């Protein structure tokens, strides 16, 4: 096969790192009161965690149920 007919390889986005002071549920700064996932230790605002539990959502990172 001729290499000239192949499409270029995909370019991947740069690595994205999340600060420890960032809530993945509302995608903003953590409030002073927060909840930590018991499995992966990801932190969320307590308000967001309570809302996620009511809505039946799980941890964004490890899919563990929100336990409050």
Distance CA 67, CA 52 (A): 10
pLDDT tens string 19-37: 678 999 999 999 999 999 9
Given a cut of 90, is residue 43 above it in pLDDT? yes
Percent of the chain with pLDDT over 70: 82
Residue 48, pLDDT score: 96
Give the domains, in start order, of the chain with CATH numbers.
Answer: 23-68 (3.30.40)
Residue 45, pLDDT score: 95
């Amino acid at each position: 096969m001729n290499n000239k007919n192949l499409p270029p390889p995909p370019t991947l986005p740069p690595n994205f790192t999340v600060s420890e002071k960032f809530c993945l549920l509302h995608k903003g700064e953590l409030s002073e009161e927060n909840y930590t996932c018991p499995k992966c230790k990801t932190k969320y605002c307590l308000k967001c965690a309570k809302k996620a539990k009511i809505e039946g959502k799980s941890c964004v990172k490890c899919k563990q149920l929100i336990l409050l």
